[in-house]
A and B are shown apart, each in its own frame.
Chain A
Amino acid sequence: MRGESLQISDLHVWRGEAHILHGVGIEIAPGKVTALLGRNGVGKTTTLLAIMGLLRSEGSIRFGDTELVGMATHRVARQGIAYVPEDREVFTTLSVAENLRLSERAGAEHRYDLVYELFPDLAVRKEQAAGTLSGGQQQMLALGRALLDETSMLLIDEPTKGLAPIVIDDVVEALQRVRGETTVLLVEQNLAVARRLATDAVVLDEGAVVYSGDLETLASDPALTGRYLGVEVR
Chain B
Amino acid sequence: MSSFVLNTASGLGLAGLYFLLASGLSLIFGLMNVLNLAHGAFFAVGGYSAWIVMDRMDGIPLGLRFVIAVLAAALSGAIVGVAVERGLIKRLYGLHVEQILLTIGLGTAMVALMGGWFSYDPRLMAQPAWFGQTTTFLGANIPNNRLLVLVLAVLALVVLLAFLRRTRHGLIIRAGVENPGMVRALGVDVDRSFTIVFAIGGMLAGIGGSLATVYFNGISPGLGTTQLIFAFIVVVIGGLGSVSGTAIAATLVALTQVYVNNYVGTGLGSISVVVLLAVVLLVRPQGLLGRQVL
Seen from chain A, the residues whose Cβ lies within 8 Å of a Cβ on chain B are 52, 54, 72-74, 77-78, 83, 85, 89, 91-94, 98, 101-103, 105, 145
Contacts and interface: CB of A to CB of B under 8 A. Distances in A.
A101 B168 CA distance: 9
26 contacts: A52-B185, A72-B184, A74-B184, A74-B185, A74-B189, A77-B185, A77-B186, A77-B188, A85-B182, A85-B185, A91-B178, A91-B179, A92-B178, A93-B174, A93-B178, A93-B291, A93-B293, A94-B175, A94-B178, A98-B174, A101-B168, A101-B171, A102-B175, A102-B183, A103-B186, A105-B187
Contact of A74 (B179, B187, B294): B187
Interface in B183-231: 183-190
Contacts of B168: 101
A122 to B, nearest CB: 17
B171 A102 contact: yes
Interface residues of B, number: 21
A77 B291 contact: no
B184 A102 contact: no
A103 B186 CA distance: 5
A172 B17 CA distance: 54
B144 interface: no
A99 to B, nearest CB: 8
B72 interface: no
B292 interface: yes
Contacts of B186: 74, 77, 102-103, 145
A54 B185 contact: yes
A133 to B, nearest CB: 15
Contacts of A145: 186
A98 B293 CA distance: 14
The 6 closest A-B pairs by CB, nearest first: A77-B187, A73-B184, A91-B175, A89-B182, A74-B184, A78-B187
